[in-house]
């Protein structure tokens, strides 16, 4: 309650009307007027009173908006222009002419003054002035470094920043300006935020970030935001928004960015595998939809999309190899990340095999079925010769994967002389064909020697299971029949491999070897298997 001074009545329409109503019954009564709703509070009223009394007072960028709102509330608009006119002159001459002052005016519109500032348009004018000064700084820098203006935005609240960003878009600022403003604001604001309100602040910042169409934010920046969102247990809406934003630019990320997001702050424990899997799945879904649209477009665009998917697949393999070292990582989470990219997106599965081998080495207690689940994310037929050779000697792999690598590699070597493509001029000539055949024969001989020892070890490993499923008498008869035949080494080896063929039951894959001829008059020599070294780690 404030005592009304007669000197303010002529210059304040609000007070004049209140006095007229209060003194109608008793003109000599003392009038007290409540001004609890005055914008700017006691400080604004004091300066308004000083103006009415003709006393000096200071108008600054911090109180200009409050004085303008207070003048409008008190209806101070006499014939001489009043307080509102003096504040407008200050804003035009100094308050909105520089970036720091414009930000100070916009910041003063926050809090209790926000509603009144919005009604008068002060907040909109201040935000537009900030956007204009930023655009001028981008075109004609006045300080060093050129993007010094980005740090000034950290003083704004998320609501005020959203106003500035909207004004930048209306002024058609470039994407690089929008990205610089958004990233600098989020990083500085979250870095200065207290731990107690970090979650709420993060959710507010994410809510005002530009869309991917306006300004695709850097993948590394989004990984940091998503890591903070998961760590602080932000709302599901916030986390999903960041996941979709990251999926849109996942091909621009690096394995280091994803690892910084997947691991905890100490980099020792994997915590974000589910979010990582959803991000990869969203990217694959986007690429699949874009791939269908590219079928009717130019081939160059389709190649670009395929390259992005292959890049992400390689990056995912690197990430899978790193998270595989976590001894507490369940099989389902490892398979969820490594298998989020389709198998056919990879030209070769060597990197994926490395990740699988690392996981099996870090989890030696897995049984045969669990190891098969781990290996289900890769295709042994897409391994290179070196990787298949390593897989055939890898004791950590399940038996099914080893047999697949052995069987496919042997068939490929045996049919090497039949299905050659003419790769050079030597292959077209008789001399070139002879040289290629000699090389193939030498490779085949070496592979046969290694395969013979490997099969002997496999046969001993599988003997117990075969004895339970078949009678000993029938097996002895079959063995005697095979030993009595005069067949070449290639014929015997083909029959042995056909029994070990891992694809025989499923019927999903087979290879025609009918064109391969057996050697004449040669009987198979039984060679005692050599002791093999342990697999290469």
Residue 509, pLDDT above cutoff 70? no
Residue 343, pLDDT above cutoff 80? yes
Mean pLDDT, the chain, as a whole number? 77
Least confident residue range of 74-83, 191-200, 421-430: 421-430
Residue 393, pLDDT above cutoff 50? yes
Q: Is residue 466 part of a domain?
A: no
> What's the confidence (pLDDT) of residue 479?
43
Residue 300, pLDDT above cutoff 50? no
**Contacts of 511 by beta carbon, 8 Å cutoff, 6+ apart:** 411, 415
- What is the mean pLDDT of the segment spanning 43-69? 89
pLDDT band at 17 (very low <50, low <70, confident <90, very high): confident
How many domains does the chain contain in total?
A: 2
Q: Which domain holds residue 321?
A: 218-290+305-347
Least confident residue range of 187-196, 232-241, 354-363, 385-394: 187-196
Q: Is residue 256 part of a domain?
A: yes
> What's the confidence (pLDDT) of residue 532?
38
Domain end marker among 95, 121, 137: 95
- What is the mean pLDDT of the segment spanning 131-147? 90
> What's the confidence (pLDDT) of residue 416?
56
Residue 276, pLDDT above cutoff 70? yes
Coil, strand or helix at 42: helix
Q: Which residue pairs from 178-181 have beta carbons closer than 8 angstroms and sit at least 24 positions apart in sequence?
A: 178/210, 178/214, 178/215, 179/210, 179/215, 179/216, 179/217, 179/218, 180/147, 180/150, 181/134, 181/150, 181/153
Q: Is residue 35 part of a domain?
A: yes
Give the pairing type, strands 32-33 and 2-3. Answer: antiparallel
Domain end marker among 34, 66, 95: 95
**Contacts of 140 by beta carbon, 8 Å cutoff, 6+ apart:** none
Least confident residue range of 156-170, 405-419, 479-493: 479-493
Q: Is residue 81 part of a domain?
A: yes
pLDDT digits (tens, 9 = 90+) for 160-210: 999 999 999 999 888 889 999 999 888 888 886 555 678 888 998 898 888
**Contacts of 108 by beta carbon, 8 Å cutoff, 6+ apart:** 61, 62, 63, 64, 65, 66
As a whole number of angstroms, the distance between CA 176 and CA 139 comes to: 12
As a whole number of angstroms, the distance between CA 436 and CA 150 comes to: 66
- Residues comprising the chain, all counted: 537
- What is the mean pLDDT of the segment spanning 11-22? 77
203 in Cβ contact with 235 (< 8 Å): yes
Of 59 and 210, the one with more pLDDT:
59
Q: Is residue 1 part of a domain?
A: yes
Residue 277, pLDDT above cutoff 50? yes
> What's the confidence (pLDDT) of residue 30?
67
- What is the mean pLDDT of the segment spanning 129-155? 90
Q: Is residue 425 part of a domain?
A: no
Q: Looking at the whole model, is its pTM more than 0.85?
A: no
Q: Which residues share a beta bridge with 33?
A: 2
The dihedral of CA 394, 399, 405, 409: what is its sign? positive
As a whole number of angstroms, the distance between CA 254 and CA 221 comes to: 12
Q: Quick one: 33 exposed, middle or buried, by C-beta within 10 A (0-12, 13-18, 19+)?
A: middle
pLDDT band at 112 (very low <50, low <70, confident <90, very high): confident
Of 194 and 296, the one with more pLDDT:
194
Q: Is residue 229 part of a domain?
A: yes
Angle (CA) 396-401-405 rounded to 5° is 110
Q: Is residue 70 part of a domain?
A: yes
> What's the confidence (pLDDT) of residue 360?
95
Domain end marker among 95, 110, 127: 95
* 128-137, 141-150, 168-177, 398-407: range with highest mean pLDDT: 128-137
Residue 332, pLDDT above cutoff 60? yes
Residue 124, pLDDT above cutoff 60? yes
Residue 242, pLDDT above cutoff 70? yes
As a whole number of angstroms, the distance between CA 140 and CA 125 comes to: 22
């Amino acid at each position: 309650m404030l005592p009304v001074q007669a000197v303010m009545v002529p210059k304040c329409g609000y007070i004049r009307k209140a006095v007229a109503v209060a003194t109608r019954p008793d003109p000599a009564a003392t009038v007290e007027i409540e001004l609890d709703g005055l914008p700017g509070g006691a400080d604004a009223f004091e300066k308004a009173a000083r103006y009415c009394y003709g006393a000096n007072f200071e108008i600054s960028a911090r109180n200009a908006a409050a004085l303008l709102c207070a003048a409008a509330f008190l209806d101070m608009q006499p014939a001489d222009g009043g307080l509102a006119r003096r504040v407008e002159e200050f804003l035009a001459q100094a308050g909105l002419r520089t970036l720091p002052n414009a930000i100070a005016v916009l910041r003063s519109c926050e809090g209790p003054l926000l509603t009144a500032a919005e009604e008068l348009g002060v907040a909109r004018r201040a935000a537009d002035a900030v956007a204009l000064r930023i655009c001028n700084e981008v075109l004609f820098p006045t300080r060093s470094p050129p993007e010094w203006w980005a740090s000034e935005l950290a003083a704004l609240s998320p609501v005020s920043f959203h106003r500035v960003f909207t004004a930048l878009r209306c002024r058609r600022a470039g994407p690089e300006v929008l990205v610089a403003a958004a990233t600098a604001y989020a990083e500085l604001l979250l870095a200065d935020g207290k731990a107690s309100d970090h979650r709420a602040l993060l959710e507010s910042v994410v809510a005002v970030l530009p869309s991917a169409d306006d300004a695709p934010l850097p993948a590394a920046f989004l990984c940091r935001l998503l890591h903070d969102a998961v760590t602080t247990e932000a709302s599901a809406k916030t986390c999903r928004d960041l996941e979709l934003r990251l999926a849109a630019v996942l091909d621009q990320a690096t394995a280091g960015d994803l690892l910084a997001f997947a691991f905890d702050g100490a980099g020792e424990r994997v915590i974000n595998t589910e979010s990582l899997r959803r991000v990869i799945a969203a990217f694959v879904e986007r690429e699949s939809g874009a791939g269908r649209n590219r079928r009717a477009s130019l081939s160059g665009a389709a190649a670009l999309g395929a390259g992005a998917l292959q890049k992400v697949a390689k990056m995912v393999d690197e990430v899978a190899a790193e998270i595989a070292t976590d001894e507490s990582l369940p099989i389902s989470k490892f398979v969820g990340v490594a298998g989020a990219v389709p198998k056919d997106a990879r030209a070769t599965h060597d990197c994926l095999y490395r990740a699988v081998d690392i996981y099996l080495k870090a989890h030696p207690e897995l049984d045969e079925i669990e190891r098969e689940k781990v290996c289900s994310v890769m295709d042994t037929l897409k391994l290179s010769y070196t990787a298949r050779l390593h897989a055939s000697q890898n004791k950590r792999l399940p038996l099914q994967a080893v047999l697949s690598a052995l069987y496919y590699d042997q068939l490929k070597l045996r049919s090497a002389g039949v299905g050659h493509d003419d790769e050079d001029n030597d292959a077209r000539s008789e001399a070139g064909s002879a040289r290629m055949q000699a090389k193939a024969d030498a490779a085949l001989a070496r592979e046969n020697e290694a395969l013979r020892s490997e099969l002997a070890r496999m046969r001993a490993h599988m003997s117990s299971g075969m004895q339970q499923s078949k009678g000993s008498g029938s097996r002895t008869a079959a063995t005697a029949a095979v030993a009595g035949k005069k067949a070449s080494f290639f014929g015997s080896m083909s029959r042995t491999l056909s029994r070990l063929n891992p694809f025989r039951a499923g019927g999903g894959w087979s290879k025609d070897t009918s064109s391969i001829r057996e050697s004449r008059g040669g009987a198979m020599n039984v060679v005692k298997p050599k002791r093999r070294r342990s697999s290469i780690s």
